[in-house]
Amino acid sequence: MSVDTTGYQANPWRGRFNAGFFRAMEGYLDWHLRPRKAEVFADLPDEVVELGSGVGANLRYMPPGSRVIAVEPNPHMHAGLRRQAQRRGIEVDIRDVVGERVDLPDGSADTVISSLVLCTVTDPARVLAEVHRVLQPGGRFCFVEHVAAAEGTFTRRVQRAVRRPWRWVFEGCSCERDLAATIQAAGFKHVTIQPYRIHSPFLPFNTQIAGHATR
Ligand SMILES: C[S@@+](CC[C@H](N)C(=O)[O-])C[C@H]1O[C@@H](n2cnc3c(N)ncnc32)[C@H](O)[C@@H]1O
């Protein structure tokens, strides 16, 4: 088991399972998320920092020839991410660190992106503080994330019921986070957040948000 000094532990079996799962599901998930991603990741610059790149689901939104600094602590994701980057003509610089402690200088990034990551990190507020720190003034955080459903709904009840097995299988993932509130509270100058719903068989995952936060 590989252990990061910040507490991240890549489980040898579930780490591999998740790499395989996201590789296998990439096209299907993109089919659901493409309308939002196409808006939120439109006009990305030639270099972006990506949190939790996984096996490269978002590389398709970057122009060939661009460069991504990929903050990805699960080593089982790295080979797939490198392959996908090569296939798409994108330079990838993988940082084997967690989003809670990004090894980049203050104000060094124009754009930070994430999809389906703030659900899984140990401390979303700390990750957002890091995003704020590494962005230059006027820089943007572009995100697509899944969040808790409204209280009292059937989806919210299902999210609560599957909490433990879901977290175990997907290595820390929670479907019960109010990430819109966490992003609003992270000190950005301007935040736009669009809540929406997809209709996949993975019910707890269907309530989502997408948007931008400008430093
Ligand atoms: C659900 S996957 C999403 C992967 C990819 N972004 C996508 O949309 O397919 C969550 C990713 O976040 C990564 N991750 C987990 N904890 C993290 C942390 N503390 N900091 C940064 N990334 C993390 C996982 O290794 C995994 O690649």
Residue 1, classed as helix, strand or coil, is: coil
Instruction: State residue 8's pLDDT score.
Output: 76
Residue 162 above 50 pLDDT?
yes
59 lines ligand 1 (CB under 6 A): no
Q: Please write the tens of the pLDDT for every residue from 28-85.
A: 999 999 999 999 999 999 999 999 999 999 999 999 999 999 999 999 999 999 999 9
In the predicted structure, residue 3 carries a pLDDT above the cut 70: no
> Tell me, what amino acid is at 72?
E
Cβ of residue 57 lying under 6 Å from some atom of ligand 1: yes
| Amino acid, single-letter form, for residue 109 | A
Question: Which of 77, 115, 120 most suits a substitution to test ligand 1, by most atoms within 8 Å of the C-beta?
Answer: 120
For residues 180 and 166, the answer to whether their CB atoms sit within 8 Å is no
Confidence of residue 5 (pLDDT cuts 50, 70, 90): very low
Number of residues written out for the chain: 215
Domains and CATH numbers, the chain: 2-214 (3.40.50.150)
Q: How confident is the model at residue 6 (pLDDT cuts 50, 70, 90)?
A: low
pLDDT score of 199: 97
15 lines ligand 1 (CB under 6 A): no
